[in-house]
Amino acid sequence: MKLKYLVLIALTPLILIFDQLTKLYIDRSMKLYQSIPVIDGLFSITYLRNRGAAFSFLSEASWRLPFFILATVVALIAILIAFRKLRDDQGLAAVSLTMILSGAVGNLIDRVRMGEVIDFLDVYWRTYHWPAFNVADSAICVGVALLALDMFREEKRLKGEPVAT
């Protein structure tokens, strides 16, 4: 079996299980809007539910749920197509696409199951809050950053420039 498929088969369940278990733990052990400071003035565990996307985008739209489910399914298909086209030497791209896919599936599970996503990681500085997020969101963001790095390295490789490993 090709390495990229081993990455997909091994990493996806790990991310999904960690994402779903953390959300389940938050849901069962905290009250909605309850906040537990972890690092004063910087980070708290805060139980929130988000009906929209990032920054609560479209949270009040009546058609938001079918839209987000359809958009996620289309994105998953695109990711799988891109994943299938990866060369054997594109391990970082395989990891990044797997992280993006896993995060998307993790949030899709919430949307289908509850119509909204559980968020609980609350990063802030004084009164300035970054929107709360979860493990799935983190996997997507790290995956996108790694994909950008891989694309930069691929561009250098195509130009014949040395690429740091």
Residues annotated as catalytic (active site), given as ranges: 119, 137
Q: How many whole angstroms separate alpha carbon 120 and alpha carbon 135?
A: 9
Quote the tokens at residue 105: 């599936």
Other C-beta atoms lying within 10 Å of the C-beta of residue 95: 19
Name residue 50's beta-bridge partners: 117
Quote the tokens at residue 69: 């489910």
Q: Which of 101, 72, 67, 71 is nearest to 86 (CA)?
A: 101
